[in-house]
Amino acid sequence: MSETRPGRWIGYSTGPGGKDHLEPGARAFVEQRERELAERRGRLLCEVQVRVYERDVPDDGNMWVSFPPGAVLGPDSDDAAIAAAVERARRALARWR
């Protein structure tokens, strides 16, 4: 991919030491952007995960949905709500290219 996308590939851990190397002004800027993004996103519904390997294997289910603590959806949620979240993830992945 020859096109550059500023901000798409750099992430800072929220854990210990994640932003410690940044100067105070830069750290404040990153943290403010994180707060703004979190506000725009709203609450986490679920996590849709896809693993990609060197070789495709037919019928190898390397996709799943997980429900971390605090997620809006859970294993007992309505199947249609979970399917809608997976569809949103599919569309987001298609746009990400």
**How far apart (Å, rounded) are the C-alpha atoms in residues 49 and 62?**
8
Higher pLDDT, 28 or 60: 28
Most confident of 15-19, 25-29, 66-70: 66-70
6: DSSP letter: T
Higher pLDDT, 3 or 39: 39
Could you count the other beta carbons within 10 Å of the beta carbon of residue 79? 7
**How far apart (Å, rounded) are the C-alpha atoms in residues 37 and 75?**
26
The structure tokens 């901000």 sit at 7
Tens digits of residue pLDDT in 25-43? 988 898 899 899 999 999 9
- Tokens representing 22 are 């940044």
**How far apart (Å, rounded) are the C-alpha atoms in residues 21 and 91?**
35
Model-level pTM? 0.66
